[in-house]
Structure 1
Amino acid sequence: MSRSRFALSLSVLLFLAACTPYRSLDRRALPAQGLKEPLPRTYARWWRVFEDRELEHYLARVTGENFDLRIAKNRIEQAALELKKREAYRSPTLDLQAGVSGSSGSDGGWSHFSDSFSLGLRAGYEVDLWGRLGDLERAALHDVRRSGYDYQTMHVTLTADAVIQWYGLAAVTGLEGVLKRRLVLAKREREVLAERYRAGRTKLSDLLSQKIAVRQLEAEEASLASQRRLYESALAVLAGAEPGKFHITRPPGLPLRLPKEAPSVDSGVLLHRPDIRSALESLAAADRRAAAAVSAQYPRFDLSLSADTEGGDLASLFDRWYLSVAASLAAPLLDGGSRSAEADRALREREGALLRLKGLLVSAAAEVQDALAQVDSWSRSLKEAREQVVLEERRAAIYRQRYLHSTEDYRLYLSASTSLLRAREREIESRYGLLKAYVGLYRATATGWGDGESGRKESR
């Protein structure tokens, strides 16, 4: 071996030895299962505890027609195509080149013309010396998984919103029914007071107060009608339809069945939240991209193979052919610090992904605690509201019997009936509040509740 070749080989070996390997993220400090478990194929259909066929049909339409879900599904397809592109970068390339040229000239007054035909194949392959291409491919794979979890996150959010809007419409419809009965009683009391005022048996201020009460109830009726239209518009938008073209066959009612008690929630449940799984995949992708950015500062090793042939005409095209094989090692020397800056940026991006994951875990735990507190609070409120309804029903029944036996004034019976209707309004509001609290708990845990065991089976 000559001295020049020995010196070249020695310099290459020294240069490669100076390339510090990338220090990957220590995944032992992370929830490992978040990076290994596959995507579940189905979701916990927690809403089946309500036994509402109309709601199930509506949620099926939301899943198929909602624009946000369709956009999320489109992003999954984009990520899959990006992965396919990254996989192709690790394969050899083969190009076909063909050319034809013509030339003319003169020599001593004689003109001559010549044609030239060429045909060649070019093959190339980048040896993944530092794992850069493999890291970019693995980052693309994590992006595919992340986009899948993002779709699940959107599904969790939309189904929760849809159920809240659906039963919000049911609550408003129920309140409208109770308010109409209250308005009928208020108008009857206004008529009684008007008769008594004409007979000189009551004061004008009492009659005016009752007229004001009737006007207030009419304003509440208009407000509830406006809320009902807002709920109907929200349900239409969630189903991907224009509000004016979306119609519900029959108004929904509040479910009679609710979970008897809040399920126990441990910290492991949070790891199954799709947004946290998405954050884990984002962190893994950022880690691989950082590794690729560091590897981009090191030499690149390429292999190439070319086969060419040429001739003056098509018949002699394959008379002369050439075959060449080459290996090249390209090392960046001066780039203004762009590769180093890109590596630092990628490492900062990885650090940011880790911070986002930690913050998401903290906020998720707080969401679960808040949801459990809401369930407990609304459960007590509903229990008190139901007890109040029972008491008001007994009170109204007593005043009704006394009125029928002419031992009690009609106004007292109307007042007791109005109090009963108010108690039923509070019961409707408490039932809807408890339902929203349970839906909030589902959103915070992204798992089924009620029939928890079947929900876990469906989510596998």
Structure 2
Amino acid sequence: MMSLLASMRLYLGPALATSLFITGCAVKPPVRKVVVETPSGWTSVAGEGISLQPAELDAWWKNFHDAQLTQLIDRALAGNLDIRVAVARIREARSQAGIADAAKYPALGAAANVQRLRGGLPQGIGRVANLPGISNEIGIFQVGFDANWELDFFGGTRLAALAAREQARAAEEALQGVRLMTAAEIARLYVELRGAQQQREIVQQQIAVARETLELVRTRFEAGLAQQLDVTRATAQYETTCAAAPPLEAVIRDRHDRLSVLVGMPPASLNEMLTDAKPLPMRPPEIPVGLPSDLLQRRPDIRQAEAELSAALAQLGVAQTERFPKFALTAGVGRQATSVAGLTLGAGNFFAVGPNVRLPIFTGGRIRNNIAARDAQVEQAALRYEQTVLRAFEEVERALVGYLREGERRRALAAATLEQQEAARLAEVRYAGGLEDFTTVLDARRGQLSSALEQVESETQQLRQAIALYKALGGGY
């Protein structure tokens, strides 16, 4: 055995020296510079509720001060099926990275072989005569270990491992993106649910008022103080108001089901939790947005695109190393024996060790085209990264404009709603006193209902824009 180890050192020593010498020629990861013009600031930040302070996005949904919303998002982050799929993809990507990294190390295996042959002896031993009492069957026994190590002279294995690690990082960023989208979708649906419930209450109140008005007009008609036309108009107003309720019920039902599925439960599973109407969540008193350059480090989709570009560059480097020779060290050690007619022949140890070189001479353009294909993939990844960054800037600007302008609309509608309420009250008083006809009352009632519904819709829309702004800024956990 000592002689075996000495022989292996004799072969391995020069090979390792050669490895250290050629490693200096290793291919380095290619570099592709992507230049994206980053604005120095946001164009739409002047307005109520927005500041340029660094964005505070950790658990951003808590800024709406709604315990049920926080509970729903926490449950969704734990049970949403899209998130669980993304987690499984991370496990897959990390395992693939481990496979790629394992190629950097020697592979050691063990094997055992037992054969029974009839009709002759292998390894040059002559046939056994068919003599009486002598079997022409032989047995071959072999057991041993073998090792193989591909020497990464030109960095191909290292670059392949780097590409796999970057793919795993991209999968991790994709998970954060799914978490962000899930939290934003839960918040949006919850806000729409509460908004629809608020609108339903307004419609129900207006239905009660329209019913009382219809009864009043009928009483006046029977007393000869109103015309049949007034009764017809009051009836039409009542039916029109009732018709506004079913669409709101459909929205409420749909949001119930969607929220249940997003938290990983069957539809209608959250009915007990969400059936009772509650006010809309509070608007955050102030949303700090920071600077555009902050998005490059904060948004998970940008970080994912960056990781995918790094992986594509590493794969390009792997393709470039295919132009160079492949060096490997192989070794084997074991024991073998042959038996015939009950006698053991050729028993003893064996070993084999030596280098293996594979040089690409002619591949029909495969290597060249593979490099060109990988280079095209790098270009695509670079363009996707640039597009992702530009889209991020656009989404923040759009959410900022929507949030600020909707705030202006909400304040105007709040003032209009108060005026409409007063106008409806005065119209009813004057109609009861015979100073106005019923048309004035109907117009005032329609205006009051429309203004109240629009105010709730505007409040809901501004909350949706706030959620979109948090999402565009990159969220946080």
Compute the TM-score of the two structures, normalised by the length of structure 2. 0.80
Match of 1:322 in 2: 350
- State whether structure 2 residue 312 is matched by structure 1 residue 286: yes
Match of 1:49 in 2: 63
Q: Among 3, 8, 30, which residue is 1:24 paired with?
A: 30
- State whether structure 2 residue 112 is matched by structure 1 residue 98: yes
Q: Note if contact 1:166-1:235 (Cα within 8 Å) is conserved in structure 2.
A: yes
Q: Among 321, 337, 349, which residue is 2:365 paired with?
A: 337
Deviation, 1:416, is: 5.5
Deviation, 1:301, is: 0.5
Which residue identity is paired with 1:76?
I
Q: Decide whether aligned partners of structure 1 residues 30 and 143 sit closer, same or farther in structure 2, where only a CA change above 3 A counts.
A: farther
Q: Note if contact 1:122-1:304 (Cα within 8 Å) is conserved in structure 2.
A: yes
Q: SS of 2:111's equivalent?
A: strand
Q: Note if contact 1:182-1:421 (Cα within 8 Å) is conserved in structure 2.
A: yes
- State whether structure 2 residue 236 is matched by structure 1 residue 207: no
Deviation, 1:125, is: 0.2
Deviation, 1:168, is: 0.7
Distance 1:284 1:317 in 2: 59
Q: Note if contact 1:116-1:312 (Cα within 8 Å) is conserved in structure 2.
A: yes
Deviation, 1:43, is: 7.2
- State whether structure 2 residue 184 is matched by structure 1 residue 160: yes
Identity %: 22
Q: Among 109, 121, 124, which residue is 2:131 paired with?
A: 109
- State whether structure 2 residue 396 is matched by structure 1 residue 373: no
Distance 1:430 1:330 in 2: 71
Match of 2:300 in 1: 274
Which residue identity is paired with 1:279?
A
Which residue identity is paired with 1:89?
A
**Where do residues 35-74 of structure 1 align in structure 2 (5 Å cutoff)?**
44-74=58-88
Give deviations 1:174-226, integer Å, cap 9, x for gaps.
11110011111112222233333344444433332332222222221111111
Q: Note if contact 1:182-1:418 (Cα within 8 Å) is conserved in structure 2.
A: no
Deviation, 1:23, is: 6.9
Q: SS of 1:91's equivalent?
A: coil
**Where do residues 438-449 of structure 1 align in structure 2 (5 Å cutoff)?**
438-447=466-475
Match of 1:258 in 2: 283
Q: Decide whether aligned partners of structure 1 residues 394 and 187 sit closer, same or farther in structure 2, where only a CA change above 3 A counts.
A: closer
Distance 1:43 1:248 in 2: 31
Distance 2:442 2:173 in 1: 57
Distance 2:248 2:343 in 1: 89
Match of 2:153 in 1: 129
Q: Note if contact 2:234-2:442 (Cα within 8 Å) is conserved in structure 1.
A: no
Deviation, 1:30, is: 7.7
Give deviations 1:307-350, integer Å, cap 9, x for gaps.
13212369979951122211011012233322222221111111
Match of 1:310 in 2: 336
Q: Note if contact 1:50-1:255 (Cα within 8 Å) is conserved in structure 2.
A: no
Deviation, 1:85, is: 0.8
- State whether structure 2 residue 200 is matched by structure 1 residue 176: yes
Q: SS of 1:107's equivalent?
A: coil
Which residue identity is paired with 1:280?
E
Deviation, 1:97, is: 1.4
**Where do residues 81-96 of structure 1 align in structure 2 (5 Å cutoff)?**
81-96=95-110
Deviation, 1:55, is: 1.4
Q: SS of 2:401's equivalent?
A: helix
Distance 1:245 1:284 in 2: 43
Q: Decide whether aligned partners of structure 1 residues 249 and 78 sit closer, same or farther in structure 2, where only a CA change above 3 A counts.
A: same
Q: Note if contact 1:90-1:133 (Cα within 8 Å) is conserved in structure 2.
A: yes
Q: SS of 2:273's equivalent?
A: coil
- State whether structure 2 residue 315 is matched by structure 1 residue 301: no
Deviation, 1:270, is: 1.8
Q: Note if contact 1:96-1:121 (Cα within 8 Å) is conserved in structure 2.
A: yes
Distance 2:351 2:337 in 1: 16
Compute the TM-score of the two structures, normalised by the length of structure 1. 0.83
Deviation, 1:297, is: 2.7
Q: Which 5+ residue runs of structure 1 have no aligned equivalent?
A: 1-11, 32-41, 449-458
- State whether structure 2 residue 464 is matched by structure 1 residue 436: yes
Which piece of structure 1 moves more, 61-70 or 244-253? 244-253
Which residue identity is paired with 1:209?
R
- State whether structure 2 residue 94 is matched by structure 1 residue 76: no
Deviation, 1:442, is: 1.1
Which residue identity is paired with 2:467?
V
Distance 1:101 1:92 in 2: 29
Q: Note if contact 1:309-1:318 (Cα within 8 Å) is conserved in structure 2.
A: no
The root-mean-square deviation of aligned C-alpha atoms, in Å, is 3.2
Q: Decide whether aligned partners of structure 1 residues 382 and 43 sit closer, same or farther in structure 2, where only a CA change above 3 A counts.
A: closer
Distance 1:442 1:93 in 2: 50
Which piece of structure 1 moves more, 142-151 or 111-120? 111-120
Distance 2:254 2:306 in 1: 37
Give deviations 1:43-85, integer Å, cap 9, x for gaps.
7211111221111111111111111111011101101111111
Q: Among 216, 232, 236, which residue is 2:256 paired with?
A: 232
Count residues with an aligned counterpart: 424
